[in-house]
């Protein structure tokens, strides 16, 4: 038996040593101090737990996501028995602030004692806003994504179910059309119920059960026969009676879609530029920024305020960027007039600056109504530097490349 085991170990060590790309395998020597919970989507933190029956001084311990750049816990950092200490992962490298941040796409965090012996190592998955990854209960080998992070306090025996994705189909609904809402949970285990709550034009909420189908929960909001606004949220309850919602602050914040029968405004995307290095600057104080832009033309007979409408660089995501509606004087286009929007990823520069840029290798550019219906959209290919693409004449159905772009003016 002994020989067999030794042979086995030798085979294992051969397998593990043959890939020089991987970090060297180090055994984890548990000593009762655990990485207990991780939050990684902004204001990152790591919670460490002391499972021992005595207080523990973890001064001189090391925490890291990169073995070449370890953070050293300050001397005199004591965790009481069954207590916690939280490290803020913010690059500050002082006190309980680590010298690294965490990736919301997931990575590995390691904990070493003062002799640099690895005592815990956690590989965490992608964590979107509001979710944490931790041990349930504290110090246990059972990990789960949680919808209710518990920074510096017990993770409890069990967690509220974590809702990871909520989608609806169709994304843009019309009158007399049912809408199916799908919710994905981090786990379908220990889920007592998942419910969809919706209301129409601010009335009281109607609650319907969402049914498990595959790994998703679905329910359908019935077709509406009159115009208005549907608002909704998803609520998941665990077999431990703990509840989470998406949006997390529901019902204060809700998902919604609009149903209306308005005629679409008579607007077109008239010209755009996706590769600007020398033409037509966005003048910001002393700076000239050579940014992408989109020109919209009003070919109708009435003024149109585009506040509340959407622009996108992706046809499948019409709700990408909502034009603010708090300054109609800047967002209203007169008949026969133009408006220029900077696609410069800089909404802080003003109401006519979008939160995306245009890819000069080609993509979509689209203008969408208040309810997401398509007003105009266009798909373009690779662009030459300092040329624009636009309609041959204002509002025309054919497009051409302009070597002399005319942002905000007649083509």
Q: What residues line the site for Ca ion (CB under 5 A)? A: 37, 47, 150, 155, 271, 274, 282, 289, 291-292, 295, 344, 346, 357-358, 360, 406, 411
At residue 181, the 3 state secondary structure works out as strand
Q: Which is nearer to Ca ion, 138 or 371 (CB)?
A: 138
- In whole angstroms, the minimum distance from the beta carbon of 329 to Ca ion comes to 21
CB burial string 28-66: b at 16+ within 10 A, e below: eeeeebbbbbbbbbeebbbbbbbbbeeebebebbbbbbe
- In whole angstroms, the minimum distance from the beta carbon of 39 to Ca ion comes to 9
Q: Which is nearer to Ca ion, 191 or 357 (CB)?
A: 357
* Residue 160, CA distances (Å) to 52, 255, 267, 285 in order: 26, 21, 47, 50
> What is the spatial distance between Cα 329 and Cα 340, in angstroms, rounded to a whole number?
14
Checking DSSP bridges between strand 287-289 and strand 255-259, what pairing results, if any?
A: unpaired
Q: Which is nearer to Ca ion, 44 or 47 (CB)?
A: 47
Residue 329 tokens, joined: 């004087």
- In whole angstroms, the minimum distance from the beta carbon of 281 to Ca ion comes to 9
Q: Which is nearer to Ca ion, 194 or 352 (CB)?
A: 352
- In whole angstroms, the minimum distance from the beta carbon of 144 to Ca ion comes to 12
Element (H, E) at 3: helix 2-17
Contacts of residue 261, defined as CB under 8 A and 6 or more positions apart, other chains included, come to 175, 227
Q: Which is nearer to Ca ion, 152 or 178 (CB)?
A: 152
Q: Which is nearer to Ca ion, 35 or 183 (CB)?
A: 35
The residues that bridge with 121 in the sheet, in sequence order, are 110
- In whole angstroms, the minimum distance from the beta carbon of 16 to Ca ion comes to 33
- In whole angstroms, the minimum distance from the beta carbon of 96 to Ca ion comes to 15
Name the nearest CA neighbour of 236 among 191, 180, 184.
191
């Amino acid at each position: 038996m002994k020989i067999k085991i030794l042979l086995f170990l030798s085979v294992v060590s051969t397998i593990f040593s043959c890939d020089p790309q991987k970090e060297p395998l180090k055994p984890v020597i548990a000593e009762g101090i655990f990485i207990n919970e991780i939050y990684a989507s902004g204001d990152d933190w790591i919670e460490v737990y002391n499972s021992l029956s005595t207080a523990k001084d973890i001064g001189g311990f090391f925490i890291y996501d990169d073995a070449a750049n370890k953070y050293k816990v300050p001397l005199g950092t004591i965790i009481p028995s069954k207590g916690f200490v939280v490290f803020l992962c913010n690059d500050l490298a002082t006190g309980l602030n680590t010298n690294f941040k965490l990736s919301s796409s997931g990575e590995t965090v390691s904990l070493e004692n003062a002799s640099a012996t690895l005592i815990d190592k956690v590989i965490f998955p992608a964590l979107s806003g509001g979710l944490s990854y931790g041990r349930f209960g504290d110090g246990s080998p059972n990990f789960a994504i949680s919808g209710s992070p518990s920074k510096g306090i017990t993770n409890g025996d069990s967690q509220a179910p974590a809702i990871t994705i909520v989608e609806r189909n169709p994304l843009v609904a019309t009158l007399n059309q049912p809408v199916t809402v799908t919710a994905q949970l981090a786990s379908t285990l220990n889920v007592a119920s998942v419910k969809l709550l919706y209301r129409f034009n601010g009335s009281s909420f109607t609650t319907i059960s969402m049914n498990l189908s595959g790994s998703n929960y679905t329910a359908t909001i019935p077709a509406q026969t009159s115009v208005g606004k549907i608002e909704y949220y998803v609520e998941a309850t665990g077999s431990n009676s703990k509840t989470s919602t998406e949006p997390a602050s529901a019902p204060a914040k809700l998902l919604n879609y609009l149903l209306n029968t308005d005629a679409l405004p008579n607007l077109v995307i008239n010209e755009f530029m996706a590769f600007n290095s020398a033409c037509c600057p966005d003048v910001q104080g002393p700076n000239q920024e050579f940014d992408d832009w989109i020109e919209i033309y009003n070919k109708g007979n009435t003024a149109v305020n585009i506040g509340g409408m959407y622009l996108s660089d992706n046809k499948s995501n019409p709700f990408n960027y909502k034009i603010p509606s708090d300054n109609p004087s800047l967002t209203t286009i007169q008949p026969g007039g133009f408006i220029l929007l900077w696609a410069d990823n800089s909404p802080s520069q003003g109401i006519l600056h979008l939160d995306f840029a245009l890819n000069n290798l080609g993509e979509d550019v689209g203008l969408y109504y208040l309810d997401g219906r398509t007003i105009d959209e266009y798909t373009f290919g690779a662009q030459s530097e300092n040329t624009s693409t636009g309609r041959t004449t204002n509002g025309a159905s054919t497009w051409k490349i302009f070597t002399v772009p005319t942002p905000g003016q007649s083509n």
